[in-house]
Structure 1
Amino acid sequence: MQDRIVLGNEQETNRDESRQQDRPASGARRRFAMALAGLAAAALPLPRLAMAGESGALALDVNGAVHVTNNAAHTAYHFSEEQLLKLPQHSIETATTWTPRSTFTGPRLADVLATVGAYGSQIEIHTIDDYTCIVPVSDADRYGAVLAYAMNGRRLKVSDFGPLFLIYPRDQFPLELDGAAGDSKFAWQIVSMTIKP
């Protein structure tokens, strides 16, 4: 069945015929789309590449006021997935503004800071989407905050707060951690932290 369209006083056109004339061969179209996607991916900063996929790499870079480094320039400590998983694992059961009451699992922020010999007073947190927030180093001990990589036993994906989600025990400290001020401490899609003096 052919579609015929009459536009004002214009002649009838056959949509099927015009589509076939304008359409490149399917193989050429696919190669063009793949090349275009490759160019777009190459233009993205590396952290955003993880966002294009469903699961970002479980890794963390910590720099700034730290005594222990492991990169060639001696400016940062890079935690691989293996290193993060070797740290003692802890769980916090709490609700957040964005999630129902759940169990979040990962290393304590205090253990990450101890590993790098952090000596600053503030932590500047950087995320995949270039969001930055600052939390006091003292929060690590005061609240026992966790850098969660799992929620209810399932690995966090980029689309659901992963690869790392800074979790505070909000339900245990509702007066301190509820509301906008408390919410500002919960950062997700974390890729790096800078320790500030």
Structure 2
Amino acid sequence: MIRTVVILLWAGVLAACSPATGGGRDAPTGAVLTLYGDIETVDRGPSQAALEPLFFAYGIEFGSACVFSTASLASLDQHEIRVDFPMGGDERRFSGPLLRDVLAIAGPQGTHLTVTALDGYQRTIPLEQVMAHDVILAIRADGEWLGIGGYGPALLVWPRGTDPDLAGQTDDDWVWGVFAIESVTPDET
């Protein structure tokens, strides 16, 4: 119950700060993505349970991090992928920066990324896999900003329609509602 309330409160705050449509409107400026863990570049201090209940609800704690707003993500080189999502659905036009360009700013040192979505879904993906493909961190779909309540604030989009190595890829690594990415090196025990 507490987790649901936290998600609804967080979604309400972000939705109030986000444009309803992408049209000609500017990108929201508040932080929507936090990269943490084993990274080189940081621009914020530790997580604070009292002020950041969503991090607390998902057990996300860090001493420092690198944060991005939708506007800062939009300022990076934008790439477009036309692909069906969900798999087998209509083809849509997703756009945003390459995930590896976002990661280059934070400088991850781990071997994997644990991507966390607003609904609590987490997926740990080898960094090598992300770097080998033109994965984008989509912030728009069909020209509209991805919003809370939909696939936003960001969605991992893989070029499964044009990259032969990804042909037939399921939606498991297509994390939507992305708000946190941790650079980790999992124990191999």
TM normalised by structure 1 equals: 0.69
Structure 2 residue 27 is matched with structure 1 residue 66: no
Corresponding position of 1:155: 145
Corresponding position of 2:9: 49
Q: What's the secondary structure of 1:166's corresponding residue? A: strand
Corresponding position of 1:15: none
Q: What's the secondary structure of 1:51's corresponding residue? A: helix
Structure 1 stretches lacking a partner, 5+ long:
1-39
User: What count of residue pairs does the alignment treat as equivalent?
Assistant: 154
The answer to whether the 8 A contact 2:133-2:159 is kept is: yes
The answer to whether the 8 A contact 1:48-1:129 is kept is: no
Corresponding position of 1:186: 174
The answer to whether the 8 A contact 1:96-1:170 is kept is: no
Which of residues 96, 104, 111 in structure 2 aligns to 1:106?
Answer: 96
1:135 deviates by 1.2
Q: What's the secondary structure of 1:139's corresponding residue? A: helix
1:174 deviates by 5.8
Corresponding position of 2:64: 75
Q: What's the secondary structure of 2:166's corresponding residue? A: helix
Instruction: Read off the aligned partner of 1:68 and give its amino acid letter.
Output: T
Which moved further from structure 2: 150-159 or 95-104?
95-104
Q: Report matched runs for 1:93-172 at 5 Å.
A: 93-97=82-86, 99-172=89-162
1:93 deviates by 1.2
Instruction: Read off the aligned partner of 2:130 and give its amino acid letter.
Output: A
Deviations 1:68-110 (A, max 9, x none): 0011245211112232122211111111225411110111100
Which of residues 42, 54, 73 in structure 2 aligns to 1:84?
Answer: 73
1:139 deviates by 2.6
The answer to whether the 8 A contact 2:159-2:166 is kept is: no
The structure with more radius of gyration:
1
Q: Distance in 2 between matches of 1:66 and 1:150?
A: 26
1:54 deviates by 8.3
**Structure 1 residues 71, 135: CA separation in 2 closer, same or farther (over 3 Å shift)?**
same
Which moved further from structure 2: 93-102 or 150-159?
93-102
TM normalised by structure 2 equals: 0.71
Q: Distance in 1 between matches of 2:10 and 2:95?
A: 21
1:118 deviates by 0.9
Between Structure 1 and Structure 2, the one with more helix by share is 1
